[in-house]
Amino acid sequence: MDNQGKKYDAIAEGFAKMRDSFYKEQRFLDELIKLIPAKSTILDVGCGSGVPIASYFIEKDFEVTGIDGSQKLLDIAKEKCPKMKGVLGDVRSVILNEQFDAVVEWWCLFHIPKPDHEKMIQRFSQWLKPNGILEFTSGDAAYEATFSDMLNQELHYYSLEPSQYELYLKKHGFKLILKESDQPDHLVWIAQKVV
């Protein structure tokens, strides 16, 4: 992930311009909002420039902390989304000394090699308060690929079979609420921490 952060540093300005509005996320963010108290704390994992996800939650009066591996994207976030608390680090190892009402990960897990996906589900659980809500995304099948079509930057992508995520959610204390395809080859998950 550190390497991926450096790759995003190289394309930070172009990526922030490209990722400045919703694609298909808003409906699912609204589903999450229905499940958490007003003024909840939310952790945005792979927050990028803070737009559109963190900024949307902040507009709805939630308190948002964002983690990202790209310092340049976090610098852009300071301008675009000044109310977000930004944390620089590899999401697999960064230390957070608080728990949140919700954890959101959108298009970040797929940059993490497959062997670390269970570790991330476990970390999501550790970052959540009891009964907290997790929303994350994955592919709809197992895959591993490298593409260079993101602003001519070569990036790696990974996903497990959906059944593996279901097993890991159960193992790490989650009850599945939603699993839905929002676009080809892509799934959105919502689960509640019950243990």
Which CATH number characterizes residue 24's domain? 3.40.50.150
Spatial distance between the Cα atoms of 61 and 115, rounded to a whole number of angstroms? 36
Domain, as residue range, for 20: 2-193
- Closest by alpha carbon to 62, among 25, 37, 94? 37
* CB-neighbour burial class of residue 184 (10 A; exposed 0-12, middle 13-18, buried 19+): exposed
> Which residues partner with 155 through β-bridges?
147
- Closest by alpha carbon to 122, among 136, 111, 140, 107? 136
| pLDDT number for residue 24 | 80
Query: Can you give the C-alpha Rg of the chain in angstroms?
Result: 15
pLDDT digits (tens), the chain, 195 positions: 446 666 766 765 655 566 665 678 899 999 999 999 999 999 999 999 999 999 999 999 999 999 999 999 999 999 999 999 999 999 999 999 999 999 999 989 998 999 999 999 999 999 999 999 999 999 999 999 887 666 677 778 899 999 999 999 999 999 999 999 998 999 999 999 997
Q: Count Cα atoms within 13 angstroms, Cβ side, for 185.
A: 8
Q: Which two tokens stand for residue 7?
A: 């790759």
Query: Number of structural domains, the chain?
Result: 1
Angstrom distances, CA of residue 75 to CA of 13, 86, 131, 147, 153: 10, 9, 33, 26, 20
Q: 10: part of which helix (H) or strand (E)?
A: helix 2-10
Is pTM, for the whole model, over 0.85?
yes
